[in-house]
Amino acid sequence: MACFCYILECADGTYYTGWTTDPRRREAQHNRGRGARYTGQRRPVRLVYVEEQSDRAAAMRRERQLKNLTHAQKKALAESQR
């Protein structure tokens, strides 16, 4: 089963990183307040970056790498997918 790492841009300009099996569904969950506590207070959020991974373990490893990026690096990734 394919998994995806994603980056959401929050209404306040910050970024949230996670992993899921369905990025669009997960974006909708965050926007309904059913995602992470962090995004619940920063809605609406917008999916700005998606990266497919081969499995859950790979997605979790990549999520950790993405979380360690600076704001500017996450912004560059987001702009690379426009």
Say what the pLDDT of residue 82 is.
Answer: 83
**Per-residue pLDDT at 59:** 98
Q: Two tokens at 76?
A: 């560059």
The CATH number of the domain where 45 resides is what?
3.40.1440.10
pLDDT of residue 34: 95
- Here the tokens at position 48 are 């700005």
Give the model confidence (pLDDT) of 25-59 as tens digits.
Answer: 999 999 999 999 999 999 999 999 999 999 999 99
Q: Please answer whether residues 78 and 7 qualify as being in contact, where contact means their C-beta atoms are separated by less than 8 angstroms.
A: yes
Q: Is the pTM of this model over 0.85?
A: yes
Q: Which domain holds residue 24?
A: 3-81
Share of the chain above pLDDT 90, in %: 98
Distance CA 36, CA 30 (A): 7
**Tokens, residue 16:** 């949230």
Question: Total structural domains in the chain?
Answer: 1
